[in-house]
């Protein structure tokens, strides 16, 4: 009776450890794919952007990481579709950023 319970506990524990190991392997594989995709984007941006523009994009990445990621993806897509000819200068990147930044609304509050 005690041996059966002990065997059942061991079996459950082994199944749980195997499940955790499989999950860990899947997470590592996903992380590896993510790193590879980021490396490909980085290489594409090295070819697309001039050094000053790359610096500006890195500065934006420090303050607004989600926005910078969206800009990077947009630039890579434009490059792949052939809509970008040559390298993008800092001034051209500024123009692109102005187009992508949503307009700010002004709110006036008056007290009575």
pLDDT tens profile 82-102: 888 789 899 999 988 888 887
Rounded distance between C-alpha atoms, residue 24 and residue 35, angstroms = 16
The two most distant CA atoms of the chain are separated, in Å, by: 82
* Single pTM value for the model: 0.63
Q: How confident is the model at residue 55 (pLDDT cuts 50, 70, 90)?
A: very high
**CB contact set of 110 (below 8 Å; sequence gap of 6+):** none
CA 66, distance to chain mean position in Å, is 8
In the structure encoding, which two tokens stand for residue 12, read together?
Answer: 């459950």
Q: What is the pLDDT of residue 1?
A: 67
Q: Would you list the domain boundaries of the chain?
A: 2-100
- What does residue 50 show for φ and ψ, rounded to 5 degrees? -75, 160
pLDDT-derived band of residue 49, with 50, 70 and 90 as boundaries?
very high
Name every residue whose Cβ is closer than 8 Å to that of residue 100 and which is 6 or more positions away in sequence.
Answer: 67, 70, 71, 74
Say whether pLDDT at 103 is over 80.
no
Q: Which CATH number fits domain 2-100: 3.40.50.261, 1.10.10.10, 2.60.40.10, 1.10.8.140?
A: 1.10.8.140
């Amino acid at each position: 009776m005690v041996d059966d319970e002990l065997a059942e506990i061991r079996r459950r524990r082994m199944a749980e450890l195997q499940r955790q190991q499989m999950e860990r392997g899947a997470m590592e594989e996903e992380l590896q794919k993510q790193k590879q995709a980021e490396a490909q984007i980085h290489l594409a941006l090295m070819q697309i952007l001039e050094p000053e523009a790359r610096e500006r994009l890195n500065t934006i990445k420090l303050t607004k990481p989600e926005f910078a990621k969206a800009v990077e993806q947009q630039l890579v897509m434009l490059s792949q579709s052939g809509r970008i000819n040559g390298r993008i200068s800092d001034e051209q990147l500024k123009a692109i950023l102005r187009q992508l930044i949503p307009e700010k609304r002004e709110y006036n509050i008056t007290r009575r």
